[in-house]
Amino acid sequence: MFAADKKTVNAVIRCLEVLGEAAKHIPTSFRKKHPDIPWSKMAGMRDVLIHDYMGVDLKTIWKVAQERLPELKPMLEGLKPTKND
């Protein structure tokens, strides 16, 4: 079970933190060109995880890891910034 494996829980949380931090540094012009990417949600998740607002809900973390990240991965892999971004 996910919640029982602290090493995996911590690794998944850390990956989500890094992803959210990276989203915060994407230029606004680039984000506007790709509105299908949930930039704000990614950054917001990072904030919750880093600051532990009201505790971290491991069910939500597991759902994000199992459902949202697989949907997001091909979207992000398909992005290619240009010189203007």
Per the residue annotation, which of 14, 25, 31, 51 is the catalytic one? Answer: 51
CB of 53 within 8 A of CB of 24? no
Q: Is 25 annotated in the active site? A: no
Is 51 among the residues known to form the active site? Answer: yes
Given 25, 31, 34, 46, the catalytic residue: 46
Give Rg (Cα) of the chain.
Answer: 14
Q: Measured between alpha carbons, how far apart are the two ends of the chain, in Å?
A: 42
Active site residues: 46, 51
